[in-house]
Structure 1
């Protein structure tokens, strides 16, 4: 029976929508990798009554309670006082944590205040968890067969603490039977259609291998899970992957943690090819995804964002007659953009995007969500029209993913 966890995110700023709670998402994935089951996530404000209530309720339901937020030096940060009250203890100044805080302020050349030093005041019954990149220490409590872990709400501090200290401690404390996951990553196909194609294979899966469909924007992940991470378990899962791949190979771009932009980088590097981008309605988002991949300078030559028609003409030499006759969001324009940006940056491949992201700007012939994507290499120049939705942010993201998939499809033909 897998251990059960509850995640509590503390902070008024999360409830107000001023801060996005990425912590609970990341923690869930980290715990899942250990085979620990998250049964509930709770977001609460910086109020004593709420914090104490959910500490009590969580202890009744879970083997571990993971808490983020509320560890700052100001009066509205109540997590430590509430934990002290809940465990019927008091705050005491931890000299090791205090030394770490002073050291960090000295290295940064900042003046330390009493409120900063108060961050070294921790509940007497906790085991401090050193924060190597911040001043708020984490806390580990092992009370009444339940583990409570409290960490800073700053995402990069939480992740460092979790990876370096907490996950190894949780694994040692709770994990006896390991869980083994493999992920098949697909793109360009919906969940329902994918399920139809692999239905027979899915129905014949061994009882000890479970399949989950995990749809995300523009793609679907297939997760295969089995108990145990020995070589036999790994071979059984791989055998099932080998069976299903011939059915869906044209949609598969990678495995496990590889994102589509990572896959494009890998393919370009393996083929010794370079890429350049001309993107209009996405405003640089495609280039951002491309350059988020370490080492992308080896295969990404550069980008241009010709948002105005004037720049499309002056910088990327798209004939004004084409723009006037067909409009900026059209097949002829993206074909010219893809070809010309390839020539301009002396790349092997050029990719272009032009569309109506919204919420305004649509017409009966070209409603909001209309996007044209062009592709050019040494042998061909092609374009494809997409019709997305009326949400600007989603249209931008879908367009970038569709452009990356267009590169993948054409690279596979090389």
Structure 2
């Protein structure tokens, strides 16, 4: 089965909001064996909506439309949906009772006609009751295509996808199985990684596909298997992952989309009861932000000193001005001193420190733009590594963050 996701709203097209709905819907459909053929974002225009629906009919099995179901005049999806199916709007009494209770009971104000109009639906549609909002979803069929219209408010859309759309699709349609496994690698670029696993990739079974998903400092390898025998798919994926581990075990740090390096590192720190701190200059606290984005990170992360200015390195971290004058603020000596000092101040097992020239100018150091020193303090001593991440500034910072996490992960696992 194939699906198309359509988002309606000028606010998406002008960049006012980011379309997160399509991503959530696509993941939900993929889990039940429905592949997304395309994602479209279109304007709040009746003709545009009608043309889009017409162009998709009988081309895909399912069309899911989000947005344009609100109570204001610019929300025209429901009326246009009704026009496309040559239907008329009628009041759904269950929806009206729910809207009334929500407005008068929860918000404690009289219901208006504009609120009551939320209960209008095409007479022949299957109403998808929205318990967490006022706009119901609508399920209609034409030709060989199912058309589903959902509210654009993310939490309302998610509720209807999980509790109405997905269960209905499962009950009414036979679908193939799709199994994914994502392998998270760090420290090896995409091209080098491809060279190392070329023979393995060439020998993959036809029903298993490999995708490279690169981002700064890491590459995710996604294996996707599609077929009618779910057990065969899982077994096939398992066998291929075992073969892959023999080839690149040195750079695999985790599995699946949720297993980011900060999550993997956090699990390791928590399991081994190891504590960590950071002292950040050029990364501006981003390493600490990533670490603390993981629930439960308070068990192993003590804190951070964002020593962006030289005087903070001297007064808060206690780094000698002579060391800074002799080696410059962007140097191995200062990175190591930062790591050692924050480790001591916050009484942790390990510490990460960063100092560098992210650009666009050199600042207080003569080091080339893009140069970053990452210091690592361990229970046995301190060391640093030098990198040049090039430009632009954002890339330098992002790569320094990822590289810092990668180095500390490898250092801890090496000593276990």
Map 1:42-121 onto structure 2 (within 5 A). Answer: 42-105=40-103, 109=107, 111=109, 114=112, 115-121=114-120
Distance in 2 separating the partners of 1:106 and 1:396: 51
Task: Between 200-209 and 113-122, report the one with greater CA deviation.
Answer: 113-122
Q: Are the aligned partners of 1:34 and 1:175 in contact in 2 as well (CA < 8 Å)?
A: no
Instruction: Call closer, same or farther: CA 1:368–1:168 in 2, change over 3 Å.
Output: farther
Determine the structure 2 residue equivalent to 1:385. Answer: 386
Map 1:320-331 onto structure 2 (within 5 A). Answer: 320-331=321-332
Asked if residue 37 in structure 1 is aligned to residue 35 in structure 2, the reply is yes
Instruction: Call closer, same or farther: CA 1:364–1:304 in 2, change over 3 Å.
Output: closer
Q: What whole-Å deviation, never above 9, does each CA across 1:320-346 have from its counterpart, x for those lacking one?
A: 233334343332222122222222222
Shift of 1:379: 1.4
Asked if residue 252 in structure 1 is aligned to residue 252 in structure 2, the reply is yes
Determine the structure 2 residue equivalent to 1:151. Answer: 150
Task: Between 80-89 and 315-324, report the one with greater CA deviation.
Answer: 315-324
Q: What whole-Å deviation, never above 9, does each CA across 1:42-99 have from its counterpart, x for those lacking one?
A: 1111111211111111114211111122222221122111111111122333333333
Distance in 2 separating the partners of 1:361 and 1:95: 68
Determine the structure 2 residue equivalent to 1:344. Answer: 345
Q: What whole-Å deviation, never above 9, does each CA across 1:187-232 have from its counterpart, x for those lacking one?
A: 1111211111111112222333222222233222222222246334
Shift of 1:364: 9.7
Task: Between 225-234 and 313-322, report the one with greater CA deviation.
Answer: 225-234
Task: Between 191-200 and 126-135, report the one with greater CA deviation.
Answer: 126-135
Task: Between 212-221 and 60-69, report the one with greater CA deviation.
Answer: 212-221
Task: Between 91-100 and 43-52, report the one with greater CA deviation.
Answer: 91-100
Instruction: Call closer, same or farther: CA 1:313–1:113 in 2, change over 3 Å.
Output: farther
Distance in 2 separating the partners of 1:291 and 1:313: 26
Determine the structure 2 residue equivalent to 1:319. Answer: 320
Asked if residue 161 in structure 1 is aligned to residue 140 in structure 2, the reply is no
Please state whether the residue corresponding to 2:133 is helix, strand or coil. Answer: coil
Shift of 1:124: 2.5
TM-score (norm 1): 0.91
Shift of 1:296: 1.5
Q: Are the aligned partners of 2:329 and 2:364 in contact in 1 as well (CA < 8 Å)?
A: no
Q: Are the aligned partners of 2:3 and 2:62 in contact in 1 as well (CA < 8 Å)?
A: yes
Q: Are the aligned partners of 1:91 and 1:122 in contact in 2 as well (CA < 8 Å)?
A: yes
Matched residue count:
412
Distance in 1 separating the partners of 2:78 and 2:126: 13
Distance in 2 separating the partners of 1:74 and 1:367: 55
Q: Are the aligned partners of 1:9 and 1:43 in contact in 2 as well (CA < 8 Å)?
A: yes
Shift of 1:265: 1.0
Q: What whole-Å deviation, never above 9, does each CA across 1:282-301 have from its counterpart, x for those lacking one?
A: 33332222222222222222
Map 1:14-413 onto structure 2 (within 5 A). Answer: 14-105=12-103, 109=107, 111=109, 114=112, 115-226=114-225, 227-228=227-228, 230-257=230-257, 258-361=259-362, 365-413=366-414
Instruction: Call closer, same or farther: CA 1:28–1:269 in 2, change over 3 Å.
Output: same
Shift of 1:317: 1.5
Q: What whole-Å deviation, never above 9, does each CA across 1:100-143 have from its counterpart, x for those lacking one?
A: 33444567546365334433323333223233443333222233
Instruction: Call closer, same or farther: CA 1:75–1:323 in 2, change over 3 Å.
Output: farther
Shift of 1:179: 1.6
Runs of 5+ unmatched residues, structure 2: none
Instruction: Call closer, same or farther: CA 1:252–1:55 in 2, change over 3 Å.
Output: same
Larger radius of gyration: 2
Instruction: Call closer, same or farther: CA 1:59–1:306 in 2, change over 3 Å.
Output: same
Task: Between 55-64 and 231-240, report the one with greater CA deviation.
Answer: 231-240
Task: Between 22-31 and 55-64, report the one with greater CA deviation.
Answer: 22-31
Please state whether the residue corresponding to 1:250 is helix, strand or coil. Answer: coil
Please state whether the residue corresponding to 2:57 is helix, strand or coil. Answer: helix
Task: Between 129-138 and 46-55, report the one with greater CA deviation.
Answer: 129-138
Instruction: Call closer, same or farther: CA 1:116–1:204 in 2, change over 3 Å.
Output: same
Distance in 2 separating the partners of 1:312 and 1:403: 19
Distance in 1 separating the partners of 2:104 and 2:340: 54
Q: Are the aligned partners of 1:180 and 1:228 in contact in 2 as well (CA < 8 Å)?
A: no
Distance in 2 separating the partners of 1:54 and 1:346: 61
Q: What whole-Å deviation, never above 9, does each CA across 1:150-180 have from its counterpart, x for those lacking one?
A: 2222333323332233222223333432122
Task: Between 303-312 and 182-191, report the one with greater CA deviation.
Answer: 303-312
